Structure 1
Amino acid sequence: MLDFNKYCCLTMFDENNRLTLVQNRKPTNTVALICYCIAWFILIFIAIWFFVSGDITYLTRGVDDMGNRCEVDEPYLFPMNFLEPSKSLWICVAQCPNETITTRSELYQLGKERNIKLCNYSVPLEDYMNEELYPKGVKGPCPVMPVYSSIPILGRCVLDPTSLSSFAFNTSKYYTILQNLEDKFKTSCGDLNISLSTIVLVLLCTKLMYIIFIWIIPFITAVLIRILLVLLVILSGAGSITCWILYWNQGDELSEFQKQTIEILNSLKSYFFFQGENYLTAILLTILTIVLLLITPWIWKHLYFVTEVFRHSRSAICWMPCMILLPILTAFAILAVALFISLSVLFGLTMAYGEMKAPRLINLFMHKINIIGIEIPTGILVLYHIFMLIWTWEFLIDFQQLSISIAVAEWFFKSKQSSRMTRVFHAVILTLRYHLGTVIFGSLIISLMRMFRAVLSILEAKMLALKKKRATGASGCLKCIQSILRFCNSAAYTVTAVNGTPFCESSSRASALIGGHLMKFTLVRTLCSLFLFIGKLLISTLSAIMLSSLLKNNNEINRSIVPVIVVFLLAYIYGRMFFSIYDSVVNSMAIIYCIVQTECREDRRSYFTEDQIEFFEKMKDDPVPSQIPHHNEDANENL
C-alpha cells in the first residue's frame, strides 16, 4: 500500500506562499538518454552498412539458384513449376512466357523464334524436344508441362490467373469483377474531384463543431449528467415498484391500465433480449435502483471537480491554440522514422538476398549477414529495426504528452507571464533540454510491453490453430495493463512537468496521487472517454449528413456515397487528433488539481487540526482552494 502522505509537500512555493513550478530544472534520466543514443547510433551504423552493401536492384533483377545475377539480356526469374514455386528451380530468362505452353515442340518454337529459353542453361536448344535426355521436373532441367502464361512482377515471372481458366475458374466472371471495380474507381475519383470544394467547406464546419463540443463539455458534466442521474434513479425505482405490484397482483383480475403496463414491459424486455419472468425483471430493476442510489451521491459529490477539470482544460486549449500543431508534427516525425527504418530493412534484405546461393524468402531471415566481422542473422536485425521503430514511435507520442503537460502546468501556475503563442514552443524546448531521458525511459516500458504482447499474440494464434482454447485472454489482459501503464506514464509526465523529477520518482508520486484520489480519476477518465467517443461519432455522422444534403441536388455527382464516406473518415481522423490534445490536457489538469489540493491540505496541517480540515472539505469539495483566482478571469476573457 502506497503511503500517500510520504509524497506530499513536494511542489515549490514562491515568496507569497503560492504554489509554483520548479524554478531550476535539471536533466533527468540521463542514463536512459545515453542508452537511447547508443541504440540509435547502432541503428544508423547498420543502416549505413545496408545502404552501402545492399542493392535495391535485386528487387527487379533477382539471382537464380546457381547464384547468377539476372542481367539485361535475361532479366526475369522463371520457375520450373508455377504451381510449386518454393520447390522449383529458378533460372534467368529473356522474357516471361505470355501464353500457355502444353508441348515440348511449342517450347522449342518459343526458344527458336523469340529466343525465350525455358530449360536450364546446360540444355541445348536443339535438344528441347528430347524428353528422355532432358526430362521435365520441378528441379529441371526442363519445366513441368503445361507452362502457364505469366506476367513479370519485380523481375519475377508470376502466374497469370487467367491462364487457369480451363482448370480452376471462369475468367469471364473474373474480368467482369475487375472491370466493374475499375469503372467504380474512376467514377468515385470523378465524384471526389467535383465535390472537393464542398468537402473542404464541410470539414471547416466539422472543425467548428469540434470546438463547440469542447466548449459545452463542462455544461454537459455540470447539468445534463445530474439530470440524467436523477432520471435514471426515478425511472429505475418506478419500474421496480411497478414490476413488484404487478407480480403480487398477477392472480387478480387486471385493469386496463395494468394490461397496458404489462404490454409495455414485455415490449421493453423483448427489446433488450430479456426473456425472464416478471419477478426476475423486478429483482433486476431493484438491484439496478440500489446500485444507482449508492453511486449517485458519490458521482454527485465529485462532479464539481470533474467540471472544473473540463472547464480549465477548455481554457488551456483556447489560450494555447498552437497545441494543435503537436500531433501533426508528431505524425510527420513518425512517418519519417518509419520511412528511414523501412528503407534500412529493405536494403538489408536485398543484401542478404544477394549473398544467398539459392535465394528463398522462407530462408531469408535465417541467413547471417557479416557486419564488421560479426555474423548476425537477418531476422535478428529485422527485429532490432522493428523494436527501434516501436520505441521511437512511443517516444514521440510521450514527448508530445510531456510537452503538453509542461505547457498546461505553466499556464496553470504562471497565467499571463508568457505569450500564448510561444508557451507551447517553450515547453517543447524545456522537454528537449531537460527531460528527454524521462520520456525515453517511460516509452521504453510501453515498447517492451508492446513487444511482449505481440509475441504472446503470435503464440496465441498458433495455439488456437492447435485448438488449445486456454491460450486465449492473455493478450487481452496485457492490453489492459498497457492502457493502465499509458495513463500512469501520463500522470508521471505531469508530475515531472510540475516538479522536474526523474521518471521513477515522478511515477511514485503520481501513483500516490492517483491512489489518494482514485474515485476522482476514475470519474474523470470515464466521462472524458465517453464524451470524446460520442463526440467523434456524432460530429463525424453530422458531417456526413451535411455533405449528403449538400450534394443531393448536384446532378454532376454520380454517387454521393464515396464523398460521404471520405468526409466521415476525415472528420473522424481529425476528431481523434483534436481530442487527443484535449485528452492529454484533461489528464494533466486532473493531476495538477490533485497536486494543488494535496499541497494545500498538507499546508493547512500547520494551522488546523485534522477535524477542522475535514469539516472544511465537507462544506465544499473545492479542488483548487483559492490558489489560482486569476484563472477564472483568464477563462472569461478567452472564452
Structure 2
Amino acid sequence: MAVQDKLNGQPDRNYGEPVSYDPNFKGPVIQRSCTDVFFLLLFIVFLAGWAILAGLAFKQGNINRVIYPSDSNGNICGTGKYADRPYLFFFDLFKCKPKFEDDEWIPTTRCRTPQVCVKECPSKTFSVAQYDQDPPNVAEIKKHMVCVYGTDMSKDLKFLTSGPSAPCAYYYISSVSAAGRCFPSPTSVEDEFQSYNGANITITSSDGKVLSGNELFKKAERKMQRILNARRYFERFLQDLSNSWKVILIGLFIAMVLALVWIVAIRLMAGLMVWLGILGILSFLIIATAFSWYKYISLKGVPGADEGIGFSRKISYYTGNRKTWLILGCLASVALSILILVIICLRERVQIATALIKEAAKAIGYMPTALIFPVFPYLLQLIVLLFTATVALLLMSITPSSAGGIDATMYSDTSTKSYYEQCIEDLGGYSKFNNKTCTIGNSALGSHVSYSHLYNFCGFLWMSAFIVAFGEMTLAAAVASYYWTRNKKDIPKLTVCSAMWATTRYHMGTLAFGSLIIATVSFIRTIIEYIEQKLKQYDNEVTKALRCCCRCFCWCLENFLRFINRNAYIMTAIYGENFCASARRSFLLLMRNVVRVVVVDKVTDFLLLASKLVVVGITSGLAYYVFSGSCEKLNRYIPELNYPLFPVFLIAFGAYLITTCFFDVYNMAVDTLFLCFLEDCERHDGSREKPYFMSKKLMLILKKKNNGTLVDSSSQAKGKSSKTNN
C-alpha cells in the first residue's frame, strides 16, 4: 500500500507544471522537421575527414609492416625480395632500452640499434671479443658476423664493428624466434656462455659495455620466458579455437534459442518468469556459496592445494586448489548478500515492474521485427570496429622517421660527429652509410601519426555512440506508437521500418549531438585512465585517492549523460523536437515523478538483468558440463583441448552478447513505456473526456480508473458478461 501511495503521488511542481491535456495529442507527431542540423553537418564533416584519413592510411600504410617485422631501412622481413629472410635480428640488445634494469628489458622494433632481416636466428653465441686472446682469425670472425645488406667485407674489423654506424654486429646471443623477432633463448643462454673452455666468459658490446653470461641470463630470463610463454599460450588458444569452433557455435545457437524462449514466456506469463529469474539466480548463488566454502575447507591439508594459481591444461588443477575456491566463495557470498538485500528492499515494487515488462512484451509482440532490428546496429558496430582497427594498423605502419620514404628529407649539414651520430640514432639504426649523409623518410602522415591515431579513436567513439543512439530512437518511436494507440489492432505492421525512416529523415542531427556528448565524455575518461597508468609509478595514498575519485566521477557523469540521452531520444521520437528541448522535457518529467523513477524504472532493469543472467548461466553450465567430460556419451564428439575452460568462457561471453542483443529491446521498450506512462498520468485523469491510455493491468495495480469506474478483476468480469448478453 505504501508503495502504491508513492506511485500515485502528485507530481513535484518544483520542476515545472505537469503536462496539460491536449485533445489533439494522439502519440508521436506526424508533422516533423529536421532537428539539430548544425551537428549533422559537423558530423558529416568529421566523417569526411575520417574518410580522407583512412584513404591516406590505405595509400601510404602497409599492414604487413605491423604483422611482420621490418628492418631499419623499412624493408619488411619475409616479403618481397626478403621473402627468404623472415626473422628480424637486433645488433645491440642493450640499446633496446635506455637502462638495462631488472624486469624492464625487452627488445622491440623501437630499439635504437641496427636491425636486419635474417634467414634464421643465431643458434649460438658469438662475440668479436672472444678472439682477442689469440691472434685473430679474421676470416673465421667474418664468417660468423651478421652485417647490413651489401656490406663490403674487405674492410677491417674495427670499421665493420665499431661506432654507432657500424655495419656489422659486434656480438649476438643464441636466440629463438618470437613474433618474427630473434630473442635470446632463456633455456640455452647460460650453457652457451660456459661452452668455451668450460669457463663463464664475458661479452663486450660495441660501446665497451661488459656483459657476463650470468648477468645477461638473469636479466633476460624473466622477460624472455614471459614472451615465449605468451606465445605458447596464444598458439594453444588458437589450436583450441580451431578444434572446438563447431561446438562453440552450437552453444551460441542454444543461447539464442533460450533467449527467444524466455522472451516468449515473458509475454505469456511475465510474473512467473520474473520470479523464476530471481529464484534461479538466488538458488545458484546459494549453491555456489555453500559448495565453494565446502571445497575450501575440505582441501585443507591436502598436498599442493595451497600453491599459487597459474595456467594449466587440466580443470583438476583449478578444482584442487584452495585459492580457487576461496576466490569463488568470496565472490559468491558478496553477490548473494547483495541479491538478498535487493529482494528484501524491492519485493513490493516487483508487481508494477512486472506489469511494465509484460506490457513491453505485448508491444514487441505487435511488432516482431523489433526483435530482429538490434542485429542491424550490432552489425554496424562490428563494421565500425573492424574499420577502426584496420586504419589503426595501417597508421602504425607509417613511422615518422623511416628510411627511404616518399619525399625524403636529407640532413647533409653534419659537420659535427655528435650531430651525425644523433641522426643515425634517431633513424633507429643503420640506414645509409654515405660519408656524412643521413636520410630520414617522410610521408603526408609521417609527422602526424599520433594525431591521426587520436582522430581515428575519436571517430570510433562518436560513430559507435551514434549507432547506439540510432537504435534507441528507432525502438522508442515504435514502442511509443504502440502505447499511444488505443486500439492495438490499428498498429501498422511495419512500425519499426516507419520509425527507422522518421529517425533517418528528420533526427540524424539530434543523434549526432547526443552521441557527440557521450563520445566526448568517453574520450575524457580514456585520457584520465591513461594519465592514471602513468601516475602509478608515483603511487601513494594521495594519488590513489585522487585516481579513485576521478574514476568514480567520470563513471557517474558518463552514466548520467547516457540516461539523459536515452530519455531525450524518446521525447524526440514522440514530439519531434531538438535534443536540448527533448532533454529538458524528459528531465523535468522524470524529476516531477522521481519516486516513480526510483521505484519502478530501476526495478525493471534489475529484473531484466536477472533474466539475462539466467539464460547465460544455463548456457555456460551446459558448456562446462560438456567440455569437462562429465557426459560420457558426448565425449567422442568433443575434441581434445589444451584448456577446456577456454571454449566455456567464449560461449559464456557470446551468450551474454546474444542475450544482451535481445533484452536491450526490452530495456528500451520499458524505458519508453515508462516515460509514456508518466505523461499519461499527467495528461489524463481517467474521466470520460480524458481517459488513460495505459493498459487495464497497469490501471488495476495503480488503482487508476477510466470512465469513473474502478478497474479491477470483478468489473472486468462484469464487463465481459454484459457484452455476452448483448
Q: TM-score, normalised by structure 2?
A: 0.63
Q: Which residue of 2 aligns with 1:228?
A: none
- 1-structure distance, mates of 2:364, 2:649: 29
- 1-structure distance, mates of 2:38, 2:616: 45
Is the contact made by 2:37 and 2:509 (CA closer than 8 Å) also made in structure 1?
yes
- 2-structure distance, mates of 1:497, 1:623: 27
1:348-367 to structure 2, matched below 5 A, reads 348-353=395-400, 354=402, 355=405, 358=426
Change (3 A) 1:7 1:388: farther
The yes-or-no answer on 1:102 pairing with 2:177 is no
Q: Which residue of 1 aligns with 2:34?
A: 27
Q: Which residue of 2 aligns with 1:396?
A: 467
- 2-structure distance, mates of 1:45, 1:570: 34
Q: Which residue of 1 aligns with 2:563?
A: 487
Counterpart AA for 1:119: C
Q: Report Cα offsets for 1:451-503 as digits up to 9, x if no partner.
A: 11111222233334312223222112211121121111111111111111111
Is the contact made by 2:568 and 2:579 (CA closer than 8 Å) also made in structure 1?
yes
The yes-or-no answer on 1:208 pairing with 2:261 is yes
2:374 pairs, out of 295, 317, 327, with 327
Counterpart AA for 1:142: C
Q: Which residue of 2 aligns with 1:284?
A: none
2:359 pairs, out of 312, 326, 329, with 312
- 2-structure distance, mates of 1:314, 1:435: 27
Counterpart AA for 1:80: F
Q: Which residue of 2 aligns with 1:257?
A: none
Q: Which residue of 2 aligns with 1:84?
A: 95
Shift of residue 530, structure 1, vs aligned partner:
2.0
1:57-456 to structure 2, matched below 5 A, reads 57-59=64-66, 65=72, 72=81, 77-85=88-96, 86-104=110-128, 112=143, 118-120=146-148, 124-127=152-155, 131-135=157-161, 140-151=166-177, 153=179, 157=182, 159=184, 164=189, 166=191, 167-168=217-218, 169=221, 190=243, 193=246, 200-201=253-254, 204-213=257-266, 216-218=269-271, 300=348, 305-353=352-400, 354=402, 355=405, 358=426, 370=444, 377-414=448-485, 415-420=488-493, 422-456=494-528
Shift of residue 339, structure 1, vs aligned partner:
2.3
Change (3 A) 1:107 1:595: farther
Change (3 A) 1:138 1:56: same
Change (3 A) 1:62 1:107: farther
**SS at structure 2 position matched to 1:78:** strand
**SS at structure 1 position matched to 2:81:** coil
Q: Which shows bigger deviation, 190-199 or 526-535? A: 190-199
Q: Report Cα offsets for 1:398-421 as digits up to 9, x if no partner.
A: 11000000010112223333443x
Cα-Cα RMSD: 4.7
Is the contact made by 1:330 and 1:396 (CA closer than 8 Å) also made in structure 2?
yes
Counterpart AA for 2:265: I
- 2-structure distance, mates of 1:185, 1:140: 41
Q: Which residue of 2 aligns with 1:250?
A: none
Counterpart AA for 1:416: K
Q: Which residue of 1 aligns with 2:60?
A: 53
- 1-structure distance, mates of 2:700, 2:88: 83
- 2-structure distance, mates of 1:145, 1:199: 53
Counterpart AA for 2:146: L
**SS at structure 2 position matched to 1:20:** coil
**SS at structure 2 position matched to 1:209:** helix
The yes-or-no answer on 1:496 pairing with 2:572 is yes
Counterpart AA for 2:652: F
Change (3 A) 1:441 1:393: same
- 2-structure distance, mates of 1:176, 1:35: 48
Shift of residue 393, structure 1, vs aligned partner:
0.3
Counterpart AA for 1:552: C
Change (3 A) 1:486 1:177: closer
Q: Report Cα offsets for 1:129-166 as digits up to 9, x if no partner.
A: x5545445675343242333253846x55555555464
- 2-structure distance, mates of 1:119, 1:488: 63
2:594 pairs, out of 518, 527, 535, with 518
1:553 pairs, out of 618, 624, 632, with 632
Change (3 A) 1:220 1:521: farther
Counterpart AA for 1:309: L
Q: Report Cα offsets for 1:182-219 as digits up to 9, x if no partner.
A: 77875775466468667745753454235435654445
Shift of residue 547, structure 1, vs aligned partner:
5.3
2:44 pairs, out of 15, 37, 40, with 37
**SS at structure 2 position matched to 1:125:** coil
Q: Which residue of 1 aligns with 2:664?
A: 580
Shift of residue 625, structure 1, vs aligned partner:
5.4
Counterpart AA for 2:367: M
Change (3 A) 1:87 1:40: closer
The yes-or-no answer on 1:591 pairing with 2:675 is yes
Q: Name stretches of at least 5 consecutive residues in structure 1 with no aligned partner.
A: 226-270, 273-287, 362-366, 608-616, 634-639
Greater helix proportion? 1
**SS at structure 2 position matched to 1:535:** helix
Is the contact made by 1:28 and 1:435 (CA closer than 8 Å) also made in structure 2?
yes
Is the contact made by 1:118 and 1:143 (CA closer than 8 Å) also made in structure 2?
yes
Counterpart AA for 2:172: P
Counterpart AA for 1:388: G
- 1-structure distance, mates of 2:623, 2:58: 48
- 2-structure distance, mates of 1:43, 1:431: 24
Counterpart AA for 2:364: I
Q: Which residue of 1 aligns with 2:313?
A: none
Is the contact made by 2:70 and 2:117 (CA closer than 8 Å) also made in structure 1?
no
Shift of residue 111, structure 1, vs aligned partner:
6.3
- 2-structure distance, mates of 1:520, 1:570: 34
Is the contact made by 2:259 and 2:662 (CA closer than 8 Å) also made in structure 1?
no
Paired residues in the alignment total 538
**SS at structure 2 position matched to 1:151:** strand
Is the contact made by 1:540 and 1:572 (CA closer than 8 Å) also made in structure 2?
yes
Shift of residue 321, structure 1, vs aligned partner:
2.1
Counterpart AA for 2:545: R
Q: Report Cα offsets for 1:358-389 as digits up to 9, x if no partner.
A: 5569xxxxx98647xxx963211211110111
Change (3 A) 1:344 1:462: closer
Is the contact made by 1:206 and 1:539 (CA closer than 8 Å) also made in structure 2?
yes
Change (3 A) 1:107 1:59: farther
- 1-structure distance, mates of 2:122, 2:351: 75
Q: Which residue of 2 aligns with 1:507?
A: 583
Counterpart AA for 2:525: R
Q: Which residue of 1 aligns with 2:616?
A: 540
Shift of residue 320, structure 1, vs aligned partner:
2.0
